[in-house]
Structure 1
Amino acid sequence: MLIPVEDGPAIVACNTCRHSADAREDSAGTRGGAQLVAALRQVQESDARYAGVAVQEMPCLFACTDFCTIHLRAPGKVGYVLGRFTPDEDAATAILDYAVHYAASEHGRVPFKQWPQGVKGHFITRTPPQGFVAE
């Protein structure tokens, strides 16, 4: 049931997420999560700045009402679940831009002034790293 992945900064995207609050799939029958994964990988491949953040995918992060959901995580850092994205290049760029700041941070906290506009309002939860709680 578990698949080993690289243990570094990563965006784990739900590949089965709904396309939007109102639709499970787009007009071609593709789920939003699969579209977001494809957009994340395409944007990542287009810019070397994103090489230090893995794009991983898995089915269902159990945040179904918040469609197009990702989990941002790294060892020893607070993690975040974000959702309600449009599965496109703009969202993927904002997520990856934030992930670069996150990966460079000491504990996973990125100053608000560094947040790309495209992630503001998309945070759902924050999760403590194993063996820690946040202050």
Structure 2
Amino acid sequence: MTVTLHVCTTCKMGRPLPEGGTPPGARLLAALEAVGAPRGVRIVPVECLSACDHGCNIALSGPGRWSYVYRGMDPDADVADILAGAAAYAAAPDGLVPWRERPVIFRKQSLARIPPMES
């Protein structure tokens, strides 16, 4: 089953953006796409995750799984950990990855955990 890694492309990391500059969220998306999604994960850009004070923000979701929103991702430093966390999430049938198996950024920078929707 495929899960989705949503990447906010409008995140500015709480800083002004120079005219014509690329938002850090868009840089994060490009960096993730350049490496490529792990098996069972698709990377999808979104325009806003409504956590602007915390950017760069991502979310993980999938059918019948808990969803997570993570804040403060660094487009220059966190790509490998984001993809490792997304792979672990894809491998967990309910989206609940054991605490010690999560990358540190997922342990410390979780903004929200949302229960699965009932069908």
Structure 2-normalised TM-score? 0.89
Alignment counterpart, residue 35 of structure 1, candidates 27, 31, 48 = 27
Deviation string 1:84-114 (CA, Å, 9 cap, x unpaired) is 11112x3121111011111111211111111
Equivalent residue of 1:120, what SS? helix
Q: What is the identity percentage for the equivalent residue pairs of Structure 1 and Structure 2?
A: 34
Aligned to 1:123: 110
Task: Note if 1:72 corresponds to 2:60.
Answer: yes
Deviation string 1:12-65 (CA, Å, 9 cap, x unpaired) is 1111111x23x13379711011011011111226xxxx1320000110111111
Question: 1:110 and 1:14 mapped to 2: Cα distance?
Answer: 22
Q: Which AA in structure 2 matches 1:9?
A: V
Question: 1:86 and 1:28 mapped to 2: Cα distance?
Answer: 20
- Contact 2:67-2:113 at 8 Å conserved across structures: yes
Task: Note if 1:102 corresponds to 2:109.
Answer: no
Root mean square deviation, CA, Å: 2.0
Q: Which runs of 5+ in 2 are unaligned?
A: none
Count the aligned residue pairs.
119
Question: 2:60 and 2:80 mapped to 1: Cα distance?
Answer: 14
For residues 3-18 of structure 1, the aligned pairs below 5 Å read: 8-18=2-12
- Contact 1:25-1:32 at 8 Å conserved across structures: no
Runs of 4+ with deviation above 6 angstroms: none
